[in-house]
Structure 1
Amino acid sequence: MFYHDKQPEKVSDKFSFTEGPASDKKGNVYFTDQPNDKIYYWDWRENTIVEFLSKTGRANGTHFDRHDNLITCSDHQGEIWKISKDKKVEVLTKHVEGKRLNGPNDLWVDKHGGIYFTDPLYERDYWVDFKQEIPHKSLYYRNKEGEVTKIETFMQPNGIIGSEKFKKLYVSDIDAGKTYVYDILSEGKLSEKKLFCEMGSDGMTLDKHGNLYLTGDGVTVFNAEGKKINQIPIPEDWTSNVTFGGEDHSVLFITASQSVYILPTRVKGVK
């Protein structure tokens, strides 16, 4: 239905833990190796992996803005960064009401330049003298002026993806084993959340038909009504995240444990 008669192809397994895949305007997919504090990208024309940046603030989840800057959840100091293609770094957010964020995990950038991001708490062994300053784990919105607003608190918010086409925002509460959906009403304004499915997720993406791809034990696909329609097995302990890349955004790019995989599909990612 969705896929050519192929198995996911392992492109490389030289990493410690891969995360945060995001496709740029050319279809190259950038992703993180957080334990090694590096960002790489997959060059789809050559099917090769290229190192982009080291010292990334321990980048985790990422997303490209409309100007092709890579926005990263860099949790070493609880920050959100903007990284240009020529590797200039700007710290966009580090505090909410004067308090350090727990550790931004994943994000999605809307058409206004605003950023929805999740801020769970996974204490890292590389954090020095960390003290939790925000007692809750929440979903936030940072508008283009830099003002940050808390939207909602979860047990452990993690994966997030949105769509301007469908006017939807999906957020996983991974410890609760649930994924929720909001209607996007206007800039930074959401409806009340609704339960989408009884599955949590580390990362997620959408195709142009509104199907949602969740991760953990491989990749699980749900249709727009929240019905499970497919399961893509990945031979790794943990599948962390997924996005669409390639020339016409019809290749599923999957980060899983020490590896990254590609799977050509019959569908395209949503714009």
Structure 2
Amino acid sequence: MKAELVTLDDRFSAIAGDEYLERLYDAGRWLEGPVYIPAWRSLVFSDIPNDRLLRWDEESGQVSVFRAPSGNVNGNTLDTHGRLISCSQGNRQVVRTEYDGSLTVLASHLGGSRLNSPNDVVVKRDGSIWFTDPPYGITSNYEGHRAEQEVGGCHVYRISPDGELTVVADDFVRPNGLAFSRDETQLYVVDTPEKHIRRFDVKDDGLTGGEVFAPCTAGRFDGIRLDAEGRVWAATHEGVHVFDADGTLLGKLLLPDVVSNLCFGGPKRNRLFVTATTSVWSWLITTDGARPPYDHG
């Protein structure tokens, strides 16, 4: 499909890539959580209602089931050792896939109360894991299991390197996608019903600030990622919106379906992978994704 771009600022022209988008897969129900795994040259992504993780192989172009059932996994990322970290909405847990394929539960309760349904997750270079916990997985049986909310709110959490779980932000309606700035001094967090992205300052093991960084002008925001120049790439109902670090909306990549999430991958991190309703799209671009925490170079 030909890439449909909307340029709103001349700075957007510096990142435009291929003239065409590639559809890598089109048989999902609601796809989410793409993460590129360099060691496998593969993209792993979630099909939440179908309760499975799928894997697209870069060499063959084939898609296979990576794990089913998955616990209605939503967001995924890699930790500082390249291990898969996943938000299991159905099981109300954050889990790590070990090298032998076994699962380790990293977070499931705050005190004696079960988490809502962990949604999206990022890892800091110090090994801490930060995630959002809206109730999407417990409001119905569609992408989880209907249940009562036990935690008094929808928070942003931090798991310390030694495993301690703490609330770092508790003033969200439904926090969703999140991403660190390149130097990890700031954390961007989506509040989906509020239709905006907020930006916090990272202080030791917590957050301060939280002003609105950018409003959504096309439905609602979902997942977000940063590129190597500090620009914010955000999933919206009409496609991907790209913001400069100063909050200016530079341009848009329009897609035919509602976009849920995105990530950078490929050997040079210059391939954008986008999950959009039933499909996974790929776009080779002229910028690179931000250096991930497992890259110690």
In structure 2, the partner of 1:223 is 244
The CA deviation at 1:29 is 2.0
The 5 A counterparts of 1:133-148 are 133-148=150-165
The 2-side partners of 1:45 and 1:149 are apart by 41
The 5 A counterparts of 1:4-15 are 4-15=17-28
The answer for unaligned runs of 5 or more in structure 1 is: none
- After the TM superposition, which of the residue ranges 2-11 and 225-234 deviates more from structure 2? 2-11
- Report SS of the residue matched to 1:30: strand
In structure 2, the partner of 1:233 is 254
Q: Which residue of 8, 11, 16 corresponds with 2:29?
A: 16
- Report SS of the residue matched to 2:193: helix
The CA deviation at 1:174 is 0.8
CA contact (8 A) 2:30 2:48 kept: yes
Q: CA deviation digits over 1:208-249, x for unaligned, max 9? A: 00010111221000011010001001111x100000011111
CA contact (8 A) 2:38 2:267 kept: no
Q: Which residue of 154, 171, 176 corresponds with 2:189?
A: 171
CA contact (8 A) 1:166 1:210 kept: no
In structure 2, the partner of 1:250 is 270
In structure 2, the partner of 1:192 is 209
Q: CA deviation digits over 1:61-103, x for unaligned, max 9? A: 1111011111111011211110134421111111001101111
In structure 2, the partner of 1:214 is 234
CA contact (8 A) 1:118 1:158 kept: yes
- Rate the CA distance shift 1:83–1:212 in 2: closer, same or farther, 3 A: same
Identical-residue share of aligned pairs (%) = 32
- Report SS of the residue matched to 1:202: coil
CA contact (8 A) 1:42 1:48 kept: yes
The CA deviation at 1:38 is 1.1
Q: Which residue of 190, 193, 201 corresponds with 1:183?
A: 201
- After the TM superposition, which of the residue ranges 139-148 and 254-263 deviates more from structure 2? 139-148
In structure 1, the partner of 2:89 is 75
In structure 1, the partner of 2:53 is 39
In structure 2, the partner of 1:99 is 113
- Report SS of the residue matched to 1:60: strand
Q: Which residue of 284, 287, 290 corresponds with 1:264?
A: 284
- Rate the CA distance shift 1:128–1:172 in 2: closer, same or farther, 3 A: closer
- Rate the CA distance shift 1:173–1:232 in 2: closer, same or farther, 3 A: same
Q: CA RMSD in A?
A: 1.6
CA contact (8 A) 2:47 2:53 kept: yes
- Report SS of the residue matched to 1:76: coil
Q: Which residue of 80, 95, 100 corresponds with 1:66?
A: 80
In structure 1, the partner of 2:147 is 130
Q: Aligned residue pairs: how many? A: 269
TM-score (norm 2): 0.86
The CA deviation at 1:41 is 2.2
The 2-side partners of 1:33 and 1:124 are apart by 16
TM-score (norm 1): 0.94
The CA deviation at 1:166 is 5.0
- Rate the CA distance shift 1:62–1:196 in 2: closer, same or farther, 3 A: same
- After the TM superposition, which of the residue ranges 49-58 and 134-143 deviates more from structure 2? 49-58
